[in-house]
Amino acid sequence: MAKQVVPESDRRRRRPTKQGGVLSHALIVETALRMLREHGSGGLTVRRLGTALGADPSTLYRYFRGIDELTLAIGDELVGRALRGWEPSGAWRADLRELGLRIHSAYLAHPQAAVLTASRVTGRSHEVAADEAVLGLLRTAGFPDASAVRIYQAFIDQSLAFAALDAASLALPDAARRADEEVWRATYARLPAESHPHIAATAHLLVERMNRSAYPTALEMLLDSAEAQLAAVPGRAPGAGGRTPGRSAPRRGGGTAPQAGPRGGRPGRLGGDG
Amino acid sequence: MAKQVVPESDRRRRRPTKQGGVLSHALIVETALRMLREHGSGGLTVRRLGTALGADPSTLYRYFRGIDELTLAIGDELVGRALRGWEPSGAWRADLRELGLRIHSAYLAHPQAAVLTASRVTGRSHEVAADEAVLGLLRTAGFPDASAVRIYQAFIDQSLAFAALDAASLALPDAARRADEEVWRATYARLPAESHPHIAATAHLLVERMNRSAYPTALEMLLDSAEAQLAAVPGRAPGAGGRTPGRSAPRRGGGTAPQAGPRGGRPGRLGGDG
DNA sequence: CGGCGAACGTCAATGGGGTTGGCATAAGGT
DNA sequence: ACCTTATGCCAACCCCATTGACGTTCGCCG
């Protein structure tokens, strides 16, 4: 058995599969993404993936140490897509908004994959870039370091957390999702006003809203609060951010746009058991 | 084979297990929670749960349609615990804060279980109560219905989303979590200032903060924004909320405290594939 | 141009998982 | 005390991830 997986960059001999395909990390990840889309978040299995690639299942262990490592690679791919082509405009609020929405929608473009990876620490290459960018936006905007770090963490985690939550809904099989929506409509829309006055009074609004992600709202609220905090910083004029709710500001170029740095990860937080 | 699972309330004949135990939904869920704590989030298996209960694995199918239904029951239990004993004080901001923190920490008290359930739609009994409570707090505070619904959704989803994210960290095996923290420290603390100036400048703050949940910060920011929106409502004096960051306000009793209502769930949101 | 070592794909096997159909039995109502 | 049937148990099915040994073929090196 292979004790060590050969890193992609060191691969020389590419031997075609019995069915003629030539494997690579990229091809495997891509195929895995397709399989997740087609078979749902539980549909990624080594056997099936092997079949789809026209290779023996065990072959995959030449490329990844196990299915977990493959999962992380998939997550890394999603993060990479989120940042691809992004450039700051110079208006911190608009930039943060766009960054958040990009991360969110990159995950939601592959909900089944996002379910598996969004709340996982990838420990891979694209995260440092995003972190540096966010911190840069905040510090350049004038936030003191302590605030910048606090807000940065809330921003990043909020984006990932909502991505995971929203992906879970999207990843449900169509039938199950429709059934869930029906339950919602049937239950909430009919709660008697005596027992649940507030739900009853707003049922129409609830039914209408509940099919949309709350992330844009939550993000905007976070930016509101940040902007207010910035205005309160001594020696600073209020209203420094680009206030353009729901739309991204035009690009102005310049600013901080770091590329992917060395490996790093968002480690586990809080103390607790295993 | 049993086509239908007998609901807990209809059970009459309780036949002891070969090893003497008497099963029930409650006992099974409780045992499952213990097993998750002891064996990690992947450690809940029908076979193992059967052994722990002193029963044949297949017996569990007399109580739950499958492991998925059991999972949802576990989630429901966590939600129930979050609300147990909660009462509003009358100060909307303090009440929302406490509610959010309660939900968050109820999940985090069982991280391995939370990982499995926090981003799942439980479709069970305790959610309506929480929803009514949150909507009630907001509408009573004076938010117009449209705002109340928007903020309610952001609040609830943010709480669940962070619970899932934070639980994922806590649920890691001790060794993996420590390793992750070390990676973080080793990588971020040593990034050269030339390539990553902002991370380098705030490394000490980052390392210090990253082991804590960002949820309290994000929650406070959401409440900030809500309070500002409330102040802007025509015909309303500013500063209506109890401003007591980080502490819960003293109880005053009264207010809206609905009990668990009929079944209902947070359905899948957004349109997308399955 | 020929050989050799290692890289790579394949095979077969292991241990574990969820789930099911059939069956024995004891619990409860009568 | 009897009968019904809910309930627990058994054995079996099929799928999964992972591993170790094996044979083939690639690509380097002389």
pLDDT in tens, A191-225: 899 989 999 999 999 988 888 999 999 999 999 99
As a whole number, the mean pLDDT across chain B is 82
Instruction: State how far residue A16 is from chain B, nearest Cα, in angstroms.
Output: 33
Burial string for A71-103 (b: 16+ CB within 10 Å, else e) reads: bbbbbbbbbbbbbeeeebbbbbbbbbbbbbbbb
B184 contacts A264? CB cut-off 8 A = yes
Find, among A44, A156, A71, A165, the residue nearest to B115 by Cα.
A165
What is the widest separation between alpha-carbon atoms in chain B? 73
Predicted pLDDT of residue B181:
76
User: CA-nearest residue of chain A to B199?
Assistant: A132
B228 contacts A268? CB cut-off 8 A = no
Cα A164–chain centre separation: 7
Hey, is the C-beta of A84 within 8 angstroms of any chain B C-beta? no
Q: Which residues, 6 or more positions from B87, have their beta carbon under 8 angstroms from its beta carbon? A: B251, B253, B255, B257
Cα separation, A204 vs A179, in Å, equals 19
Q: What's the pLDDT band for A175 if we cut at 50, 70, 90?
A: low
User: CA-nearest residue of chain A to B269?
Assistant: A211
Q: What's the pLDDT band for B114 if we cut at 50, 70, 90?
A: very high
Cα A194–chain centre separation: 41
Would you say residue B13 has pLDDT above 90? no
CATH superfamily of A86-231: Tetracycline Repressor, domain 2 (1.10.357.10)
Cα separation, A66 vs A2, in Å, equals 12
B191 contacts A128? CB cut-off 8 A = yes
A191 contacts B270? CB cut-off 8 A = no
Tell me which residue has tokens 């739950």: B64
Six token digits for residue A245: 């709710």
Predicted pLDDT of residue B249:
38
User: What is the average per-residue pLDDT within B73-93?
Assistant: 93
Contact in structure between B211 and A157 (CB atoms under 8 Å): no
Would you say residue B19 has pLDDT above 80? yes
Per-residue flag: B2 CB under 7 A of strand D:
yes
Q: B75-231 in CATH: which number? A: 1.10.357.10
A86: region left, alpha or beta (phi > 0 left; psi from -120 to 50 alpha):
beta
Hey, is the C-beta of A169 within 8 angstroms of any chain B C-beta? yes
Give residue B129's identity as a one-letter amino acid code.
A
DSSP classification of residue B64: -
Cα separation, B131 vs B156, in Å, equals 8
Domain assignments of chain A as residue spans, ordered by start: 17-63, 86-231
User: What is the average per-residue pLDDT within B59-64?
Assistant: 95
Predicted pLDDT of residue A264:
31
Nearest-by-Cβ selection for A225 from B165, B224, B262 = B224
Terminal C-alpha separation, chain A? 30
Would you say residue B44 has pLDDT above 50? yes
Alpha helices in A109-144 (DSSP H): 111-117, 127-141
Per cent of chain A over pLDDT 90 is: 49
Q: Number of Cβ pairs closer than 8 Å across A and B? A: 301
Six token digits for residue A24: 């690579």
Hey, is the C-beta of A21 within 8 angstroms of any chain B C-beta? no
Strand, coil or helix: A234: coil
Topology classification of domain A17-63: Arc Repressor Mutant, subunit A (1.10.10)
Of A5-14, A117-126, B169-178, which gets the smallest average pLDDT?
A5-14
A74-126 pLDDT tens trace: 988 898 899 999 999 999 999 999 999 999 999 999 999 998 888 776 656 77
Instruction: State how far residue B60 is from chain A, nearest Cα, in angstroms.
Output: 22
Per-residue flag: B58 CB under 7 A of strand C:
yes
Cα separation, B138 vs B149, in Å, equals 9
3 state SS for A27-57: HHHHHHHHHHHHHCCCCCCHHHHHHHHCCCH
Predicted pLDDT of residue A268:
40
Find, among A35, A46, A53, the residue nearest to A70 by Cα.
A46
Tell me which residue has tokens 């409330």: B230
Instruction: State how far residue A165 is from chain B, nearest Cα, in angstroms.
Output: 5
Predicted pLDDT of residue A169:
83
Instruction: State how far residue B13 is from chain A, nearest Cα, in angstroms.
Output: 32
Predicted pLDDT of residue A13:
59
Find, among B191, B214, B255, B267, the residue nearest to A218 by Cα.
B214
Hey, is the C-beta of B146 within 8 angstroms of any chain A C-beta? yes
Tell me how many degrees the CA angle B190-B196-B198 measures, rounded to the nearest 5.
Answer: 100
Would you say residue B34 has pLDDT above 50? yes
Cα B32–chain centre separation: 17
The gap between B23 CA and C30 C1' (Å) is 27
User: What is the average per-residue pLDDT within B222-246?
Assistant: 73
DSSP B36-57: HHHH-TT---HHHHHHHHTS-G
Six token digits for residue A216: 């844009």
Per-residue flag: A221 CB under 7 A of strand C:
no
Per cent of chain A over pLDDT 70 is: 77
As a whole number, the mean pLDDT across chain A is 81
